[in-house]
Structures are given as structure tokens and as C-alpha cells.
Structure 1
Amino acid sequence: MISESAAVYRGPACFDAVSGKLVEKAGVQFRFTSGSLAVLLGLPDIGHISYHGEMVIQGCQITQAIAILVIRNGDNVYKNAMNVRSTVKGCIQSGFAGIIPED
């Protein structure tokens, strides 16, 4: 038997408020933002989206549109310690429940 703390939960990713609402309607307990919000511009994930511009604004739109927890994919947290701090502050400001830095 798996204990509650070791249980596996589904947390689908989405990239905007509409896809967030669809995930919420599916009955999951939380969701992730996808790693690339460049899909909003119809571009590949190669740095077209700025953190302090599109990422924070999009995060606010997503977290305000749904009631379930949202965990942000932190990607590479923007390369250095000062940017890590700024990323975490922006995630708090945007209303994210957590962040997963990758690098």
C-alpha cells in the first residue's frame, strides 16, 4: 500500500488561462505551467519570451483564472543567483504555489 505522502498525482501542464480552466475542469488537484510560453507567439522555445514581461503577466492571468494550485516550470531560472531571486519573487507576485527550477 502506498502512503498518502508517496502517492502519485496528475498535474497536467498548460500555457494560458483557457487551457488552465480545461485542466481544472478535468478534476485534477494542481497543474503546471508548461516550460515554454512561446506557444503564445507561435514560436519555438528559444528565448523569445522575456521573464519580466510575458512570463509574469501570463502567470498572473493563469493563477487568477483558476482555483487549483499552479506550479511554475522554472526552466533554467535565468542563469544566475540574482535572477533566481527575481524569478522566485515574480512567482510569488504571480500567485504560483511553487516553482521547479531545472538548472
Structure 2
Amino acid sequence: MIIAINYSDESERATINVIEAIYIKSYIIKVIFDDESERIINFEHFLKKSQHPSISKYLNLHNFKNFNIVDGNLNWNDYDMIFPVWDLYLGDIT
């Protein structure tokens, strides 16, 4: 997923993409964007509060570590779990 960010001036637009994601430990991933910014994101709270089996299965670290970058987005198991790029960019997945 590619996201367009609207600035206060409508004529300015930027597209943010995830270009790299590095597993750190536990449920923490370092996400690097194409504007050279980086976020360290802890997914643990999100995963533990989810009641849905398609999300809670990622509490298994083997499943959680199996992510890819697809079309500028952080993606698990062919879009089984995915987050808006803007949320990742802000570091807020709650």
C-alpha cells in the first residue's frame, strides 16, 4: 500500500513507503521509510489485545518474524496482517 500525505499546502504531496524492516527482538521491528526516517515499533500490545485468531496467531514468534515488504508496506502472510503505512510512520499502531 502506498500512502499520500497531504500537507497544509495542497500543492505539496509526498508518498511514503516502507523500504526495509528489521526484526529486533520479541515483537519489535525497526521500520525504515523511503524518506530515510526510522521507527522502532513494538507490536506486542496490539497482538495481545486482539481477540481475532488471524491476528493472535502472530503471538507465535515464528509467525511474527515471517514478514515481507510488499509494494511499500509491511506485510504478513499475503496481507493476512497489514497496517496503514501512515500508522507505521507515526509509530502508533493502536
Q: Which is richer in strand?
A: 2
Q: Would you call these one fold, judging by a TM-score over 0.5?
A: no
Normalised-by-shorter TM-score class: under 0.3
Q: Which is richer in helix?
A: 1
TM-score, normalization by structure 1 = 0.22
